[in-house]
Amino acid sequence: MIHRKAFTFKMSGEESIPAAEVAPTAGEPMDLMTALQIVLRKSLAHGGLIRGLHEGAKAIEKHAALFCVLAEDCNQPDYIKLVKSLCNEHNVSLINVPSAQTLGEWAGLCKIDSEGKARKVVGCSSVVIKDFGEETEARHVILEYVRSH
């Protein structure tokens, strides 16, 4: 009897997470955090995600940023003030998420074990989206939120 082990091939920076964990059920409207998670993963896969303050500030100042995501639990008030003022100055929409650990996981700053669970998650206080990657329902949810706020 021959046993075959299933392999998943990943491109660099891409995570293999089952779609069932991220996608909502059919007919149910997608909430903002689920849509944000999907958009961040698609953007990461297409090279349109910028992580961290230095690179994010450069993208915002060059008018390459579509929107910015900031963690609410950042313990440095100057960091928060800088990101908010840059976004206000350059008319970049800002979305807040509750946790830097969650944002780090969504931005690909973690290892994925064999069960598909995130391990060794590194917190990330801000990310900037400069390219959505592909057309998804999550992108439309995010764009509607950005237009309404």
Question: pLDDT for 40-77, tens place per residue?
Answer: 888 888 888 888 888 888 998 888 888 888 888 888 88
- Check pLDDT > 80 for residue 21: no
Name the fold adopted by 30-148.
60s Ribosomal Protein L30; Chain: A; (3.30.1330)
pLDDT band at 28 (very low <50, low <70, confident <90, very high): low
SS3 letters across the chain: CCCCCCCCCCCCCCCCCCHHHHCCCCCCCCCHHHHHHHHHHHHHHCCCEEECHHHHHHHHHCCCCCEEEEECCCCCHHHHHHHHHHHHHCCCEEEEECCHHHHHHHCCCCEECCCCCEECCCCCCEEEECCCCCCCHHHHHHHHHHHHC
Q: Model confidence at 27, in pLDDT bands (50, 70, 90)?
A: very low
Report the pLDDT value the prediction gives residue 53, as an integer from 0 to 100.
87
pTM, two decimal places = 0.71
pLDDT at site 23 = 52
